[in-house]
Amino acid sequence: MKNTNEMACAALRFLNLITAIRTLPTIPSLDPLEERVLMALAQNWATGIAVTVMMILSTFNDASPSTVHRRLKSLKQKGLITMREDENDNRTKYVEPTDLTNNYFNEIGKCMAAAAKAL
């Protein structure tokens, strides 16, 4: 088992790498709530669940549904998500990742690997 200092150094290295990713010109800048919404979406996408707008709106207890919905619109404008209507019920919209989103999380994965390699 690694000592606490080595683990702290790896965590700081990871945070520095994430900060560097956030400043890449290919990644749109995100406000804190946009980032939280994107992370909540990613957690659901990782499980294979089809994510609806209503699911995400109900996820955040500390933000109003209209605020979260504005962030979804903003993420869509930034090219990080798409919305697809349900074939049987046009009131239901699914939120899906774009290639840009997949690249963003791929870069985060690389940062995690690089931080772990430092151990």
Which tens digits make up the pLDDT trace of 17-57? 777 777 777 778 889 999 999 999 999 999 998 999 999 99
Q: What is the CATH number of domain 4-117?
A: 1.10.10.10
The residue ranges of every structural domain in the chain are 4-117
Please tell me which residue, 87 or 11, carries the higher pLDDT value.
87
For residue 45 the two structure tokens come to: 């996408």
**Running DSSP on this structure, what letter comes out for residue 28?**
-
pLDDT at 119: 60
User: Taking the model in full, what pTM does it have?
Assistant: 0.80
* CA–CA separation, 1 and 23 (whole Å): 33
Specify the pairing of strand 51-52 against strand 81-85.
unpaired
**Running DSSP on this structure, what letter comes out for residue 81?**
E
pLDDT digits (tens, 9 = 90+) for 46-89: 999 899 999 999 989 899 999 999 999 999 999 999 999 999 99
Backbone CA torsion sign across 105, 106, 111, 116: positive
* CA–CA separation, 6 and 28 (whole Å): 32
